[in-house]
Amino acid sequence: MADLLGEDVGLAEIHKLYRCHDRLLEHKQALFDHLVGRWRDLFNVSFDVLLYDLTSTYFESDPPFPEGDKRRHGYSRDHRGDCVQVIIALVVTPEGLPLAYEVLPGNTADNTTLKDFLARIVAQYGKARRIWLMDRGVPTEAVLAEMRAADPPVQYLVGTPKGRLTRLEKGLVDKPWHDARPGVQVKLLPQDGELYVFAQSTDRVAKERAIRRRQLKWLWGRLKQLAGMKLSREELLMRLGAARKQARTAWRLIAIEVAADSAALSYRLDRAKLRHARRREGRYLLRTNLTDDDPARLWGLYLQLVSVEQAFRNLKSLPLRRQGATSPSGRSFTRMPRASRRLSSSPSSPIASMSHSAGASMPWHPASRRAAPSKSSPPCRTRYTEPEPELALLLDKLKFVLPAQPEPKISAAQTAPPSPV
């Protein structure tokens, strides 16, 4: 930016840019309205499928904080319960285009956030038949009932805890399997105006079964070691706790007993729980009010939730600056579009070209060199570049013409002398 403006590099120093976030936050609604309009014009995006999820990001800072600060202690997805955090809720399209986000207090429960976002999307983009994709734990039964009763009905596809399978197993036994995609089969069970989708993935069965076997083998060997050690009862309990933390999946499958007045340890494999776990491995239960849809599309829609998870991974890989007076809401503001920039449902789409070019390196001109900085002379920042083919195609479609670039700035004083051979 400093090169474009012909000013010193300090003009666009990173901390200065981050301190501007609170000013941008005042115009968040207008910016999202503008971006949505541009996405409609450039990519013909329909916004009929929306993906909604939440994550948290923590701060290594100690309370007390100013009044109204959103940093709170709460359930940490990063396993940092010792740190304060904020909750970030994000709504994106399957192409990875963010439509709305909100920074919430760190002690906000996931199932209390959806209702406000439903109203916000309707107020911002109008009523339409949209499909909301969510993971389990986000919607409540009351909110799902309101979505079904809305006019027009708000359609949804949401993950369901596996514990509900116990209540539905009898109804699913006689249902036929349908091929949703290679290696994935589903059963459909209509019930109470909803459609339950029971899916099993061959690859996921093999993966979860391998994890369970590896943990079970390690835990069984560890229990055998502990049973042969001469330990006090307190030492034994501490080591059992460490083993449980390392192999939680396998721990539920073994019945372990410690004598009340000694360090005597006994354990056995709970075969009933093992059979129950085998029936659940690699299998998922979804619920939807899209009762007239086909299994392949239902499964394909739910897989798009991976887009939100990838967006959050990109989001957390970006630095969260803590310098200056910028609030947590302001610091998170410009990270949202960047977090979603690499998501695309079609590798050949214009969005995919933009995503590829966002992280692509620009080749150096053969005559261009970047001299090593020294105390007497600053490094030369200007370089001569050419866009890669994907970016050149996108620029041509958008009818953008790059301005002429100056010749590389190379001087004898900045050029390092050749090293002796």
Q: What is the CATH number of the domain that holds 130?
A: 3.30.420
In this structure, the answer to whether residues 75 and 165 fall within a common structural domain is no
> What is the residue range of 95's domain?
20-153+304-346
Taking each helix axis from N to C end, the angle separating 350-358 and 389-397, rounded to the nearest 10 degrees, works out to 130
In this structure, the answer to whether residues 33 and 142 fall within a common structural domain is yes
Instruction: From 288, 319, 334, give the residue that closes a domain.
Output: 288
Please state the domain count of the chain.
3
In this structure, the answer to whether residues 241 and 194 fall within a common structural domain is yes
Token pair 């304060």: residue? 84
In this structure, the answer to whether residues 45 and 142 fall within a common structural domain is yes
Tell me whether residue 265 is in a domain.
yes
In this structure, the answer to whether residues 171 and 283 fall within a common structural domain is yes
In this structure, the answer to whether residues 112 and 66 fall within a common structural domain is yes
Tell me whether residue 13 is in a domain.
no
Tell me whether residue 189 is in a domain.
yes
Tokens of 37: 């309009």
In this structure, the answer to whether residues 115 and 27 fall within a common structural domain is yes
Which phi and psi angles does 337 have, rounded to 5°?
-60, -35
Q: How far apart are CA 224 and CA 228, in angstroms?
A: 7
- pLDDT score recorded for residue 341: 42
In this structure, the answer to whether residues 58 and 182 fall within a common structural domain is no
In this structure, the answer to whether residues 29 and 139 fall within a common structural domain is yes
- pLDDT score recorded for residue 254: 95
- pLDDT score recorded for residue 56: 86
- pLDDT score recorded for residue 409: 56
Tell me whether residue 102 is in a domain.
yes
- DSSP conformation class of 418: P
In this structure, the answer to whether residues 385 and 418 fall within a common structural domain is yes
- pLDDT score recorded for residue 216: 95
Reported for 368-377, long-range contacts at CB under 8 A and 24+ positions apart, including other chains, are 368/408, 368/410, 369/408, 369/410, 369/415, 371/410, 371/411, 371/414, 371/415, 371/416, 372/416, 377/413, 377/414
Tell me whether residue 5 is in a domain.
no
pTM of the predicted protein model: 0.69
Tell me whether residue 4 is in a domain.
no
Residue 116's closest CA among 136, 100, 137? 100
In this structure, the answer to whether residues 367 and 421 fall within a common structural domain is yes
> Buried (b) or exposed (e) across 336-364, using 16+ Cβ within 10 A?
bbebbbbbbeeeeebbbbbbbbeeeeeee
Q: How far apart are CA 77 and CA 236, in angstroms?
A: 30
Tell me whether residue 351 is in a domain.
no
Tell me whether residue 1 is in a domain.
no
- pLDDT score recorded for residue 370: 38
CB 273 within 8 A of CB 253: yes
Q: How far apart are CA 164 and CA 179, in angstroms?
A: 23
Instruction: From 346, 371, 396, give the residue that closes a domain.
Output: 346
pLDDT tens digits in sequence order for the chain, 421 residues long: 666 677 776 777 777 777 777 788 888 888 888 888 888 888 777 778 888 888 888 888 877 788 888 899 998 888 888 889 999 888 888 777 788 888 899 999 988 889 888 888 888 777 777 889 888 888 988 999 888 888 888 889 998 887 788 888 888 888 899 888 889 999 998 888 888 989 999 999 999 999 999 999 999 999 999 999 999 999 999 999 999 999 999 999 999 999 988 889 999 999 999 999 998 898 888 999 887 667 778 888 887 776 666 666 666 655 554 433 345 555 555 455 444 444 443 443 444 444 444 444 333 333 333 334 444 554 454 555 678 888 888 888 888 887 776 665 555 454 455 544 4
Paired strand residues for 197: 188, 286
In this structure, the answer to whether residues 120 and 162 fall within a common structural domain is no
